[in-house]
Structure formats: C-alpha cells, structure tokens
Amino acid sequence: MQLNKVVYVALFLAMGLMVACSKFKQRDIVGNWEGALITQGEDTLKIDPKILKFSFDKNKKYKFEGTLLHKEAGDYSVYNKYLFTTDRLAEKPEEKAVEILVLSADSLHLRMNDGGNERVLKLKRKK
C-alpha cells in the first residue's frame, strides 16, 4: 500500500513538472506580429516579409495574412514548442503545426515545412 502511494505521488510530481516546464506559453504569443525575415535552407526568400502578418488573441483565435492575398482565420493553441492552427476559412479545415524556435517579448520564429523544404519565418511584435 505504501509503495502505491509513493508511485502516485511520483507520477503527480512528474506530470506537474512536465506542465511547468512547457517551453512556450500560450499567453506569450497573444498580440500582433509582422514578418521580418523568411529563409529556406541557407537562402533568404525574395518575398517582402512585412506582408506576412499574424494576430493571436487570448480566446485562442488567430488571423493570418500572406502573399497573393492569402488569408486564414480560426483557432490556435500552443503546446510545448509547437503552434497548432486550424484555418476555419478553408473548405476542409485541417490542423497544421509549426515549431516555435523563439518566442520572446518582441520576437517569434517559426520553423515549417513547405513541400519538403524547411522554412523559417522570423516575426517581430507590432506595437
């Protein structure tokens, strides 16, 4: 009986540590972001990064504006080092995930895969 109690306490503490050690917090991404640089491999893409804009609110809703008038809007979540988005404007909404490399007061760097090519989008927080 004593061993079961120790195991439960250890599991509870381990789970608490996992939650407490989550790399990035959802509240830290809330705000408006504008592209500063986009790279593919070692190359900087010839796209004006300022046209890439994200907006995340505290109700887990996001908006995105991209190239060629591409727009998205829907739900998002942050878990550990990943940003998950579901575009509700799409005909068939699907969840997408990108890796958060940096999330600070003024910077957000996202790693994504575009047709087998790794891209990194660096954004800055708009004031």
- Domain range list for the chain: 24-125
Write b or e for each residue in 70-91: b if 16 or more Cβ atoms lie within 10 A of its Cβ, otherwise e.
eebbbebebeeeebebbbeeee
pTM flag (> 0.85): no
* Residue range 38-49, pLDDT digits in tens: 999 999 999 999
Q: Does domain 24-125 have CATH number 2.40.128.280?
A: yes
Tokens of 66: 């991209």
Digit-coded pLDDT (tens) for 66-93: 988 999 999 999 999 999 999 999 999 9
